[in-house]
Structure 1
Amino acid sequence: MTQLINSWAFWAFLAALFAALTAIFAKVGVENINADYATFLRTLVVILSLGIILYFTGQFQPLDQLSGKSLLFLILSGLATGASWLCYFRALKLGNASQVAPVDKLSVVLVALIGVFLLGEHLSGPAWTGVGLIAAGSLLVALG
């Protein structure tokens, strides 16, 4: 069990599961509300939930213990997350969850490309094939 809990694949699968639930719950929740306000309410829930987890697990860290680089990139990540959520909720308000979610998952393709070209990561031939299939699959589901 410890090996499973320490596995990146376990946590990545849970992230995918919760992302799927996010799309379904958000689609129903945004039905009769402004998409930006829905994003705001969702964000409050995330902040409250994480605050409770950090409090009860004793994981708070003073900000002055973070490097400037870490802080800068966490701020940029937060801004990107906020922008992503705003766009995602707007898309869910306007479209079907079964179309919006696959297009959103094109982020997987973008992460692979950015990882290779900006972070110097390497993908094998089969991995590139997988990236291409994710792109094609996302588009086929969204547009089909």
Structure 2
Amino acid sequence: MIWEDLGQLPNPPDHRRLITVRLNENGEPILVEQEKREEKITAVERPLMPFTWAVPDGGFVSPQTVRFTLTPFVSAKRFSCNLMSGGEHFFHFRVDFHNANEKSSKVDVDGSPYIKFAYRNGDNPAKIDRITVEGDCVLQRFVHKA
């Protein structure tokens, strides 16, 4: 896959698009048509905590995404976001506020890659059955895209 710069077109839009190129039997690059798929978005505003959301059948597999917008309490000690498979934590993201005297704490994730999680041998994201958020925070918004 490569990014095509649409700025070279006669009437360029203000963005780029992802295209896929493969080689034909003669080794020449050809454009692969992108499959159109309908995106289903589930958004939950200010749910009660602790929050649990049941993942639709089939698990949490690519190209699904999830986004949390949350605000920790002033006196927060910790909060966590989890992808669960049965009683197992498939992915566990926990933030601890160790020093209450700190004047600020910042984690930037939006728009910038933060972490790439490698599955352990035997892990299968299709088995993820729920997503949870718990701890000392207000979950402002939860969005799942499938």
Bigger radius of gyration among the two: 2
* Larger RCO: 1 or 2 (CA < 8 Å, sep 6+): 2
Superposition TM-score, scaled by structure 1 size: 0.26
Superposition TM-score, scaled by structure 2 size: 0.26
**Structure with more helix by fraction:** 1
